[in-house]
Amino acid sequence: MKSKSRWNDVKNKIISELQDIFRNYPQYYFSEHDIHSVLYHLTREQLKQHGENSQTTLDGFETTLVHHKYLTPFRCDMQGYKFRRTHEEERTPKGGLYKRGHYDLVTLNPDFVKNNTLDIVCGKNYKKLQLILPRLSIQLLIWACEIIYFPKIKKLPKNAIKIIEQDTLKIKETEKCNFCKIGSVHVFTSHSHKETAQLQQQIAQLADREQIEITFTTACNKRGIGGPQ
């Protein structure tokens, strides 16, 4: 698959399946990591159907295209609930360099994988990654996404929208630096529609303001909110 629209169709199908499973079986999910696991499985299965499940690196290592906790191509300040991309040599108040963030789940661009060595593809060697980024004519990632989960066993956080906004800004910065074709944020909760009505309104405003896709799914209802289609 080459076109963004075809990849976007695949992403939409994956998220739709994930929403259906969550809506019907919310008690299966104790943590965000449980949702990550199902998302990973659904994504790999969809890619298999399109013959895009794995790719071989330039130095001969076969790797899956789907990965958890892939590192951002920039350093950032995420103290509290803020997000700010930092300069490369900028120091924290304690004097150290700021760390890189990570994405909950990514799909690597198969063209990027086949044209680069594994140490660059895995994204962990920051110096090598920084050296090649200016020369790349393609995005490294097809899809970068964030998952946020508010289980009913805890009260809905008063700062819920701040948590969502932080991940949204990280995805926005990722698209801005042309690191991925598609970026999205997906919020799940087992709280009722009534309990989350205000949060849904806040998410709609956030998605419209930042022009990032954000979906919101409750145990009894699924809804996509805002963002580019």
Summary mean pLDDT of the chain? 92
pLDDT of amino acid 219: 85
- For the chain, 229 residues long, the average pLDDT of each consecutive 10-residue run is 85 97 93 97 95 95 97 94 93 94 97 96 93 91 97 89 98 95 96 91 97 92 46
pLDDT of amino acid 2: 67
User: How are strands ordered across the β-sheet holding 180-189?
Assistant: 84-85, 66-77, 100-108, 141-150, 180-189, 213-218, 221-225
Q: Give residue for tokens 């806040």.
A: 202
Render pLDDT for 209-227 as a digit per residue (tens, 0 to 9). 999 999 999 986 444 454 4
pLDDT of amino acid 126: 93
Secondary structure of residue 42 in the 3-state scheme = helix
Q: What are the structure tokens assigned to 73, written together? A: 């191509």
